[in-house]
Amino acid sequence: MEKRIRVNHQIITHDIHLFKKDLLEINCAKEEKNDLEPIDQDLEILYEDDIVLVVNKPIHMIVHEDGSHGITLDRIVAGYFQKTHQLCPIRHIHRLDQDTSGCILYCKQSYLQPYFDHAIKTKQIRRTYLAIVQGKISQAMTISKKIGKDRHANRFRVSSCGVEAVTHLKPLTYKNDKTLIECQLETGRTHQIRVHLSSISHPLIGDKLYGTASQYRCMLHSYSLSFIHPLTHKKIEVICEMPKDMRLCMES
């Protein structure tokens, strides 16, 4: 009906049969209306093509509107799309906590949103984090503990009545009674890494909710993100190097 489908360079307005070697073209450049007010602010782009955008979320910034009407990553992405004349929806595929930095994936085509939602649900999007914890972790381990909402506080906790949560840990560097570790998620529960690390008495440095407040923010960074591209079927892996404040934390 919108005349965005062609077969062998001819616009198709009704159902037809396709044959081997026919050329099928679908024009996906459809204008998308965004209700977000764009913000023109610097944005570190880690990867971009016609389908996806991966950016580095700064610390102390929320991904989407929470009622405060402040600066959000979604609004900055909207500003970037406006500045680059891209008529794309603002669709983040996953989120990070306010104090967590690193990779965030956006889908630029509405019709492919279900693909990425399914990929998240079926663990086909691989996410690796870097974290700095209190104390020494000397060997790799897997934490498989259910996580549920704490009824008495605005936080989460390990609970036999919670939902399955699995986190894989690998120590990288130990210094000044702090360990830099790599975390890989099999599941994506709210505050999963923070809750699991606290449960083994190695809370994140700077995690005032599950550990002890310090001069540092919560020392957690989304280091890498990988997924299978829905059109090329090739693996895309994006790296976001560890930020300066985490390097300084390990040295102090």
* Residue positions counted in the chain: 252
- As a whole number of angstroms, the distance between CA 90 and CA 109 comes to 9
Q: CB neighbours of 221 closer than 8 A, spacing ≥ 6?
A: 100, 101, 102, 129, 130, 131, 240, 242, 243, 246
- Looking at this protein, which amino acid is placed at residue 106? Y
Is 150 an annotated catalytic residue?
no
Catalytic residue among 42, 66, 74, 97: 97
Q: How many angstroms separate the Cα of 121 from the Cα of each of 125, 133, 215?
A: 9, 28, 36
- Looking at this protein, which amino acid is placed at residue 107? C
- Looking at this protein, which amino acid is placed at residue 27? N
Q: Which two tokens stand for residue 226?
A: 């990988």
Q: Which two tokens stand for residue 231?
A: 């059109």
- As a whole number of angstroms, the distance between CA 52 and CA 47 comes to 8
**CA nearest neighbour of 144 among 160, 130, 124:** 160
- Burial-class residue 102 by CB neighbours within 10 Å (0-12, 13-18, 19+): buried
- As a whole number of angstroms, the distance between CA 245 and CA 238 comes to 21
In degrees and rounded to multiples of 5, residue 80 shows phi and psi of -65, -45
Catalytic residue IDs? 97
